[in-house]
Amino acid sequence: MSAVDSVIELIGNTPLVRLNSVTEGLDAEVWAKLEYMNPTGSIKDRVAHRMIEDAERQGHLKPGYTIVESSTGNTGTSLSFMGTLKGYRVVIYETTPGKMGEEKKSLMTGYGAEVKTISPKEYEGLGGVPGAEVELSGRRICLALEKSDPTVWWARQFANPSGVEAQKETGREILEQTGGRVDAFVSSIGTGGTLMGVAQVLKGHSEKVKVVGAIPAGSKKEMKPGKPYPKTEIQGGIIAEMVMTPDLIDDIVQVTDGEAVEMALRLWREEGVFAGMSSGANVAVALRLAEEMGRGQRVVTVMHDNGDRHLTTKHYVT
Ligand SMILES: Cc1ncc(COP(=O)(O)O)c(C=O)c1O
Tell me what pLDDT residue 100 has: 64
C-beta 189 within 6 A of ligand 1: yes
Tell me what pLDDT residue 184 has: 98
Q: DSSP characters for 20-69?
A: -STTTT-SSEEEEE-GGGSTTSBTHHHHHHHHHHHHHHTTSS-TT-EEEE
Coil, strand or helix at 277 = helix
Per residue in 275-301, pLDDT tens?
Answer: 999 999 999 999 999 999 989 999 999
Tell me what pLDDT residue 80 has: 98
Which residue's alpha carbon is at the smallest distance from atom 12 of ligand 1?
A: 318
Which listed residue (44, 99, 168, 203) is catalytic? 44
Listed as ranges, residues in the chain with pLDDT below 70 are 96-101, 119-134
Tell me what pLDDT residue 129 has: 47
C-alpha 188 – ligand 1 centre gap (Å): 6
C-beta 194 within 6 A of ligand 1: yes
Q: The whole model's pTM is what? A: 0.95
Is 314 known to be catalytic? Answer: no
Q: d(Cα 208, Cα 231) in Å, to the nearest integer? A: 29
What are the structural domains of the chain? 7-42+162-310 (3.40.50.1100), 44-154 (3.40.50.1100)
